[in-house]
Amino acid sequence: MNIVDKATQTQLSNIEKRTGKTLAQLYELVRASGLEKYGEIREMLKHDLDLGYGDAQVLAGFALKEMNPETKNQETMTTDDIVAGFYSGPKASLRSIHDKVMAEINKLGEFEIAPKKTYLSLRRKRQFAMLGPATNSRVDLGLNMKGVPSTERLLEMPAGGMCQYQVRLSSEKDVDAELIAWVKQAYESAA
């Protein structure tokens, strides 16, 4: 089982724990709702079960596959499919920056990838980074680490946000030794 499959299984197990329902019960709840469109199911799960967007998105996808025999045996949407969606249209040229950052992060060791609506959350015991396109010309890398002085490049974010620092990447050249050192520090602090 690859790390993405493990992350999805962990996410589904956590959904079961949070809701107090088995996957079969959750699928039955979706079936009983009478909803058939992915977006409607996702919104119902967010509202009725108080699930976050990412959890509702994953559960809606699996529930639809369970309910529709013709799609049940097809592969579920992969992280690559989701990332391709991030970098489509005018943001397509940014994909190489994303791929270069991920190649460096993959060298650090094991971690989970939790796809969100517009970015990837990268986690060990807790989130250490967020990566996704911010504009048509920039990818943002959010980092969680403590005790690092901010610089013109390593921007300190307001307290209470999803990440403590942000680095704005506009070309593959921005994925340099300095950036990799920050990523490694954030990765190690999330163990």
Most confidently modeled range among 2-11, 38-47, 79-88, 101-110: 101-110
**Nearest to residue 141, comparing CAs of 189, 182, 88?**
182
The torsion of the CA quartet 93, 96, 97, 98, rounded to 10 degrees, works out to 110
Q: Is the pLDDT of residue 91 over 60?
A: yes
**Nearest to residue 151, comparing CAs of 166, 137, 135, 140?**
166
Query: What are 95-121's pLDDT values in tens digits?
Result: 999 999 999 999 999 999 888 888 999
Q: Does the domain formed by 79-189 have CATH 3.30.310?
A: no
- C-alpha atoms less than 13 angstroms from C-alpha of 147 in its C-beta half-sphere: 2
Between CA 157 and CA 151 the distance in angstroms is 12
| Domain residue limits, the chain | 3-72, 79-189
**Nearest to residue 86, comparing CAs of 52, 64, 55, 117?**
117
Residue at token pair 């901010």: 150
Contacts of 33 (CB under 8 A, 6+ apart): 41, 44
Between CA 113 and CA 3 the distance in angstroms is 8
Query: What are 125-160's pLDDT values in tens digits?
Result: 999 999 999 999 999 999 999 889 999 999 999 988
Global pTM exceeds 0.85: no
Query: What are 27-74's pLDDT values in tens digits?
Result: 889 989 988 887 888 889 999 999 888 888 888 888 887 776 544 333
